[in-house]
Amino acid sequence: MRNDRLIGCIALVALVAMSAASAQYRFDPSAADEQGPSIRYFGSAKDDKGTLLSGVSVQIDGPDSVYVFVTDEEGRFHANLPLDMVPEKVTSKCFRAGLQQLRITARPGPKGPKPTVQVDCVLKR
């Protein structure tokens, strides 16, 4: 009986930890406008053969802040950042263990009430 309770407790802790970890990088499009004015950053990470890569860290450095996102199972990321994170004032880089950044491109979208910036990375072994 004691081992059953211990196993149950361990399973519960693991379930809670996994739920928190997987929810950290999820995007809920229905809540996007609730965050107030922002710049929507999005993009992907690929290898030098064009295959999308999951688990790539995308770091966006601004004047006073640093944001790090991780690409999902489809090799993509997206987030809303503060309005002061304009492309002219930020630098971006991508990294994953065992890979080197080959190139990164950041392309601002059309000007308008909801600005966007697409950041795409290419990494190689």
Domain ranges of the chain: 36-124
**pLDDT, position 112:** 83
**pLDDT, position 113:** 86
Q: Compute the Cα dihedral for 33, 35, 39, 44 and give only its sign.
A: negative
Q: What is the C-alpha separation between 1 and 29, in angstroms, rounded? A: 45
Average pLDDT (9-25) is 39
Q: Compute the Cα dihedral for 97, 85, 25, 73 and give only its sign.
A: negative
Annotation: CATH topology of 36-124: Protocatechuate 3,4-Dioxygenase, subunit A (2.60.130)
Percentage helix, strand, coil for the chain under 3-state DSSP, each rounded to 5: 25, 40, 35
In the DSSP assignment, the letter for residue 115 is -
Per-residue pLDDT of 69-98, as tens digits, reads: 999 999 999 999 999 999 999 999 999 999
Which token pair is 20? Answer: 């928190």
**pLDDT, position 15:** 39
Rounded to the nearest integer, the mean pLDDT of the chain is 81
